[in-house]
Amino acid sequence: MADPDWESGNYYEGVPPAKGLAVARMIGHITYMSDASMAEKFGRQKKSGAKPFKFTADFEVEGYLRYRGDNFVKRFDANSYLYITKAMDNFDASEGRLLQDALRGAKARVLVIAFKSDWLYPAYQSKEIAKACKLSGLEATYCEIDSAYGHDAFLLEAEQETHLISHFLKKTFYEYEVTGSYEI
């Protein structure tokens, strides 16, 4: 919205707010990765040919983020991005009540999967959801995957997620009890 081309959302007959949308995507993308994955992927690597003390993208991470931002602009509309973001910010499944009260009376088995390095949806929030499910009388299973990929882990840890989900679905379908513990 700070992009001068945004025009309060009335840009369709003019120039779209590409710079603002690209920056929003770059900022968002940083939250999808963890410290460890950023360090592993980029560290302090400088781009080849980077000139010292110039206001250019000297580091590999800057080029990567600009590439991500520029590609996002080609396939996404700024107003759509704002509406989706606003909808996510305002969604409240509990409608202002305690979550366990909102869930009371529901009939479901719940699997909550979290990733230790996720900044966007921290594991403690997923634990709170699992706890609220149990307090409401729902059968809830909480699993935490130790991954260095941050929020992107849900895209990159497919094998571990598949194992947990298939086990949960089999348990739900065949209605058997799980004994012992399993740690990923």
pLDDT (tens digit per residue) in 146-159: 999 888 899 899 99
Q: How far apart are CA 93 and CA 54, in angstroms?
A: 49
Strand partners for 140:
110
At residue 29, the pLDDT reads 84
How many C-beta neighbours within 10 Å does residue 170 have? 12
Q: Per-residue pLDDT tens for 24-72?
A: 999 888 888 888 887 888 888 877 766 667 777 778 888 889 999 999 9
Radius of gyration of the chain (CA): 21
At residue 178, the pLDDT reads 57
At residue 50, the pLDDT reads 62
Q: Per-residue pLDDT tens for 129-145?
A: 999 999 999 999 999 99
Structural domains of the chain in order of their starting residue, each with its CATH number: 7-90 (1.10.1740.110), 99-174 (no CATH)
How many residues make up the chain in this entry?
A: 184
Task: Rank 4-13, 152-161, 165-174 by mean pLDDT and report only the highest.
Answer: 4-13
Q: State the chain's mean pLDDT as an integer.
A: 88
**Residue 15, helix vs strand vs coil:** coil
What is this structure's pTM? Answer: 0.72
DSSP secondary structure code for residue 166 in this structure: H
At residue 35, the pLDDT reads 80
**Which residues fall within 8 angstroms of residue 3, CB to CB, at 6 or more apart?**
17, 18, 19, 20, 21, 78
